[in-house]
Amino acid sequence: MKSKLLLVIITLSLFSGIQSVQCQEAKKFPFDPYVILKSWNYDHLTKTMGEGEEITATSNGQIYLAGLRYPSELLGMKGKMEFSFRKDSIAYFLFRTERTKKPMPAELIERVKMDTVARRAYSQENARLDSLHRDSIVQALNQYNRGITIQDSLRQDSVVRAISEILGTPISSGHAGGTERKAKFSALWINYGFSCLYKDYVNFSEVTFSFSTVPAWVVNEFGVPAGSEILHKTRISTRKFSWTASMLAFPQGAAAMTYSNVYFLLEFSDGTKFLEGLPQHDLNYRADFTFEDYNGDAIPEVWITVPADLQAHQVRHYLYSLQMKEPSQVFNSDEQMPMVISVQNNSTIKVTFPDGTIRNAKSAEPLEITNQTVPVIPDGFTYLRPSKRNNDGSANFLGGIEIRTSEQSPSLGIVEIQYKHTTGGWIPDQIKLLKNQ
């Protein structure tokens, strides 16, 4: 059993898949739930992890294979990973760990039994129990239950903290009166294209991975296609107002990692709602967003990233101001990408932007080509990041674009463009050529 558990952990690690641009350096699960949910099926699962323990169900009197179960380990807990099937895909999968409740001390059990017998006898004779005796038992029981509650709280906090280090702050979390079928505690995260639901019951805990789709009211109120997935959802609070933000996208197929439409939804605490559709492109991969103040107005902007390829080598960037609540676009990489890059006299890089702006840069070393226009192949930046802050609190950006004479040719280096913040947005300022190391 131990060797099989180790095999499952190693196998899941090998198939961790791609992560979004924002979580490249962050902590991760030993597997990528997004890739498993998007691309795995029964054949893939059994080929990767073996036959597993069958989970069966009944429909119309017929028994069918509903899933497979494997010994596994997650977040330092040992348990079992259960994969549930839906036609030719993984509908969801969950990690379940069971535990034995701390036994009540034998002495306390005996005292409770004796007290029960005594209570019945005294009750029949219309007598009263000695209150001090009764209080001592109640105190002992309360102390025992407090110990169980503390253990539960420490365990729940540990799991939430571990998942939050990977997925960020949960959208919701809280306690409830626990029963055998109702969780005592639950927490929900939606990030990196999937949802993660942690539930702690009386005698076991579950961590479930699945996709979240947009609720009916979003479809009805905004016309978002039914079946659109929630890629990321978070809560933001400022001194001025607070809101819930959701990254939405409509998949191009049931198991597709590409999306035809991408939106972000803002739900403010006062009931105001806004939906913004991103510019249309043929291929959009797993989009994401962050919030930070880049223009110095003390209100965080929405910085949205949309990879143009599976490995996120080329990424589109869109920034929206929320100063008036309704999103207002202040940076669009589609419009800020160079239109033409040309090399002159083996040393000068000439960059022409869509609005006709031209910027030149000198190369410290002779280039391998001369007097030639370099096609702007990328569908997005190789990188775009904020640089130093200006005196007014705003930030300039540095955008890098890898240049090649063709898609198959070796890289000539990276044209790095500084975008300077001005009133209302950012404009290209200085450029330079960074040679490959």
| Total Cβ atoms within 10 A of residue 102 | 10
Q: How far apart are alpha carbons 238 and 229 in whole angstroms? A: 27
pLDDT for residue 202: 80
Could you give the count of Cα atoms lying within 13 Å of 138 in the half-sphere of its Cβ?
6
**Tokens 């006709």 identify what position?**
356
Write the DSSP assignment of 189-252 as a string of letters. Answer: EEETTEEEEEEE-SSEEEEEEE--B--HHHHHHH-PPTT-EEEEEEEEE-SS-EEEEEEEEEES
pLDDT for residue 10: 33
pLDDT for residue 21: 38
Q: How far apart are alpha carbons 338 and 173 in whole angstroms? A: 46
Write the DSSP assignment of 358-382 as a string of letters. Answer: EEEEE-SS--S--SEEEP---SSBS
CB–CB of 386/421 below 8 Å? no
Q: How far apart are alpha carbons 232 and 169 in whole angstroms? A: 11
Q: How far apart are alpha carbons 375 and 200 in whole angstroms? A: 56
Low-confidence spans in the chain with pLDDT less than 50: 1-25, 118-119, 121-130, 132-133, 137, 141, 144, 148
pLDDT for residue 327: 95
**Tokens 């198991």 identify what position?**
255
Could you give the count of Cα atoms lying within 13 Å of 44 in the half-sphere of its Cβ?
14
- The region, left, alpha or beta by phi > 0 then psi within -120 to 50, assigned to residue 310 is alpha
pLDDT for residue 413: 82
What's the angle, vertex CA 432, arms to CA 431 and CA 436, rounded to 5? 140
pLDDT for residue 178: 53
pLDDT for residue 14: 38
Find the length of the chain.
437
How do residues 194-212 score in pLDDT, each as one tens digit? 999 999 988 899 999 999 9
Distance of CA 299 to the CA centre of its chain: 23
Residue 15 in tokens: 């198939």
Distance of CA 153 to the CA centre of its chain: 24
pLDDT for residue 410: 78
pLDDT for residue 123: 43
Give the pTM: 0.81
Alpha helices (H) along 299-378: 333-336
Name the residue ranges covered by the structural domains of the chain.
2-99+152-210, 213-333, 337-437
Q: Would you call 153 helix, strand, or coil by DSSP?
A: helix
